[in-house]
Amino acid sequence: QQQVKQSPQSLIVQKGGISIINCAYENTAFDYFPWYQQFPGKGPALLIAIRPDVSEKKEGRFTISFNKSAKQFSLHIMDSQPGDSATYFCAASGFNYGQNFVFGPGTRLSVLP
Amino acid sequence: GAGVSQSPSNKVTEKGKDVELRCDPISGHTALYWYRQSLGQGLEFLIYFQGNSAPDKSGLPSDRFSAERTGGSVSTLTIQRTQQEDSAVYLCASSLSQGIYGYTFGSGTRLTVV
pLDDT of residue B37: 93
Confirm if B64 and B81 have CB atoms less than 8 A apart. Answer: yes
CB contact under 8 A, A99 and B56: yes
CB atoms < 10 A from the CB of A65, how many?
A: 16
pLDDT of residue B10: 97
Spatial separation of the C-alpha atoms in residues B57 and B60, rounded to whole Å: 6
User: Closest Cα of chain B to A112: distance in Å?
Assistant: 20
> Higher model confidence: residue A3 or residue A108?
A108
The mean-pLDDT minimum among A88-97, B16-25, B76-85 falls in A88-97
Which band of pLDDT confidence, cut at 50, 70 and 90, is reported for residue A99?
low
CB contacts of A41 in chain B (<8 Å) are 107
Chain A residue with Cα closest to B105: A43
Confirm if B4 and B94 have CB atoms less than 8 A apart. Answer: yes
Mean pLDDT of chain A: 91
User: Closest Cα of chain A to B42: distance in Å?
Assistant: 4
CB contacts of A92 in chain B (<8 Å) are none
Q: Categorise residue B81: left if φ over 0, alpha if ψ from -120 to 50, beta otherwise.
A: left
> Higher model confidence: residue A11 or residue B53?
A11
Has residue B98 got a pLDDT over 70? no
CB contact under 8 A, B42 and A104: yes
Q: Where are the beta strands (DSSP E) in chain A?
A: 4-7, 10-14, 19-25, 33-38, 45-50, 56-59, 62-67, 72-77, 86-92, 102-103, 107-112
Q: How many CB pairs below 8 A link A and B?
A: 54
CB contacts of A98 in chain B (<8 Å) are 56
Secondary structure in 3-state letters for A9-25 = CEEEEECCCCEEEEEEE
Residues on chain A bordering chain B, Cβ-to-Cβ distance under 8 angstroms = 32, 34, 36, 41-46, 49, 89, 93-95, 98-106
Q: Looking at the complex, does the CB of residue B42 fall below 8 Å from at least one CB of chain A?
A: yes
CB contacts of A42 in chain B (<8 Å) are 107-108
A13-66 pLDDT, tens per residue? Answer: 999 999 999 999 998 888 889 999 999 989 999 999 998 889 999 999 999 999
pLDDT of residue A78: 98
